């Protein structure tokens, strides 16, 4: 990338001479006033003055004793002789500018340093927004306090609503539901991508069945977008260079969509049995050539849910808990448990917290070995 260096411009605040050169004119050629680096600005295209063979030595420094502008390679102020390593302050650089699509820069032109300083100072002491400044802060404080209070209250309510306490519950009954699912071994045909065949047995790709279809898109680089950027070097010059970023467009991605043939089990029927006792059974069925994996033959799958019904000791609240079949079978009507229930209204018990009170069932509590017994 080619990079070219040009003079920044500045205007003399004392005699009003405009478009002085940042690097060449360290003093106003008209009245002799020292350049104020804060008044530097980027020139328009017509006013650009190139700096040939620019040798960058560093950002200019301002002597903090006498305010004179010095080059970064001088160690003592050319005006008052102060040691710049201690009293030199690097000048503030202008923000970089990027040209728009037409290649034009935002025009800056002459700067009114006195006004800029005045505005900055006013902003610093808060002169302009004083009337709104204090209520603004009080407001912020109130908003924060309100938010904190809201969080605390919401948290408190949630804690109160969700708090649980252990309660004694009694088993009042059992219920169960069992489902037999009948699956038939069938042959099937389906279409899917070549790299993702369907699940099943004896899967085959039908010859000649694949077609090209769009599967998605991808981003591909399509040239690059370049803009001219100019950046302040801080020594009275600025540099212009091309900055390019890749440009992308989306492109369709094609893949093979194919026809597959194969065999698999498909659900053809299901039968549900249920009861409120402790003798669960499945619907007895006669299947087609059961146990043989051949088209037209059937197999069955078994599933069940087993629920115990509980109520609070005073009978005012009822709960149901799904359990494993073994646990469900081991529990008898009249067994007593403790269970964590929502304290606020005794609703929704936590079935995972069930613990036997009597130690009469497999859920019995094995806790509470007394400490100190072994010694």
DSSP 189: E
Among 3, 18, 33, 129, binds Zn ion (CB under 5 A): 33
Sign of CA dihedral 324, 326, 328, 331: negative
Tell me how far, at minimum, the Cβ of 26 lies from Zn ion, in Å: 12
Residue with tokens 């190139």: 50
Among 15, 128, 154, 158, binds Zn ion (CB under 5 A): 15
Instruction: Using DSSP, state whether 50 is helix, strand or coil.
Output: strand
Footprint on residues 70-99 left by Zn ion (CB under 5 A): 77, 79-80, 82
110 binds Zn ion (CB under 5 A): no
Q: Which is nearer to Zn ion, 83 or 154 (CB)?
A: 83
**Encoded tokens for 297:** 């033959």
Among 30, 92, 274, 365, binds Zn ion (CB under 5 A): 30
Q: Which is nearer to Zn ion, 16 or 133 (CB)?
A: 16
Q: How far does the chain reach from its first CA to its final CA, in angstroms?
A: 85
Q: Which is nearer to Zn ion, 79 or 329 (CB)?
A: 79
Tell me how far, at minimum, the Cβ of 88 lies from Zn ion, in Å: 9
Tell me how far, at minimum, the Cβ of 85 lies from Zn ion, in Å: 13
Tell me how far, at minimum, the Cβ of 68 lies from Zn ion, in Å: 5
Among 68, 97, 231, 233, binds Zn ion (CB under 5 A): 68
Strand 9-10 relative to strand 20-21, pairing? antiparallel
C-alpha span between 195 and 255 (Å, rounded): 9
Instruction: Using DSSP, state whether 124 is helix, strand or coil.
Output: helix
Among 21, 28, 258, 323, binds Zn ion (CB under 5 A): 28
Q: Which is nearer to Zn ion, 64 or 338 (CB)?
A: 64
Tell me, rounded to whole angstroms, the distance of Cα 23 from its chain centroid. Answer: 48
Stretch that binds Zn ion, among 60-68, 188-196, 208-216, 335-343 (CB under 5 A): 60-68
C-beta separation of 327 from 337 below 8 A: no
Stretch that binds Zn ion, among 57-65, 213-221, 248-256, 366-374 (CB under 5 A): 57-65
**Size of interface with Zn ion, in residues (CB under 5 A):** 16
The DSSP line for 258-326 is EEEEEEEEEEEEEEEEEESSS---PPP---TTTT--STT-EEEEEEEEEEEEEEETTS--EEEEEE-HH
Q: Which residues here bind Zn ion, judged by CB under 5 A?
A: 12, 14-15, 17, 28, 30-31, 33, 63, 65-66, 68, 77, 79-80, 82
């Amino acid at each position: 990338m080619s990079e070219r260096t040009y003079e920044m411009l500045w205007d003399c605040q004392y005699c009003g001479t405009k478009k002085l050169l940042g690097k060449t004119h360290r003093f106003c050629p008209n009245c002799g006033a020292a350049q104020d680096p804060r008044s530097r600005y980027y020139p328009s295209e017509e006013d650009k003055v190139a700096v040939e063979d620019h040798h960058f030595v560093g950002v200019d420094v301002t002597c903090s004793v006498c305010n004179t502008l010095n080059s970064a390679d001088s160690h003592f102020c050319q005006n008052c002789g102060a040691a710049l390593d201690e009293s030199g302050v690097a000048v503030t650089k202008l923000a970089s500018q990027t040209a728009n699509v037409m290649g034009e820069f935002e025009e800056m032109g002459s700067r009114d340093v006195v006004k800029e300083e005045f505005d900055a100072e006013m902003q610093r002491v808060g002169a302009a927004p004083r009337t709104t400044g204090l209520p603004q802060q009080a407001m912020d404080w109130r908003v924060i306090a309100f938010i904190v209070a809201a969080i605390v209250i919401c948290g408190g309510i949630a804690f109160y609503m969700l708090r649980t306490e252990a309660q004694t519950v009694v088993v009042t009954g059992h219920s169960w539901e069992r489902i037999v699912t009948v699956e038939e071994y069938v042959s099937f045909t389906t279409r899917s991508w070549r790299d993702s065949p369907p699940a099943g047995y004896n899967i085959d790709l039908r010859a000649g069945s694949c077609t090209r279809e769009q599967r998605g898109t991808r981003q591909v680089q399509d040239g690059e977008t370049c803009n001219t950027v100019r950046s302040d070097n801080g020594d009275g010059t600025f540099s212009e260079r091309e900055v390019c970023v890749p440009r992308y467009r989306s492109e369709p991605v094609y893949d093979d969509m194919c026809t597959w043939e194969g065999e698999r089990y498909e659900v053809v029927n299901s039968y549900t049995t249920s009861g409120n006792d402790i003798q669960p059974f499945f619907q007895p069925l006669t299947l087609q050539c059961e146990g043989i994996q051949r088209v037209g033959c059937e197999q069955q799958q078994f599933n069940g849910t087993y629920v115990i019904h509980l109520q609070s000791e005073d009978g005012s609240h009822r709960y149901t808990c799904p359990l494993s079949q073994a646990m469900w079978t081991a529990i008898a009507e009249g067994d007593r448990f403790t269970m964590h229930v929502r304290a606020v209204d005794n609703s929704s018990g936590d079935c995972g917290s069930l613990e036997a009170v009597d130690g009469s069932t497999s859920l019995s509590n094995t806790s509470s070995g007394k400490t100190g017994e072994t010694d």
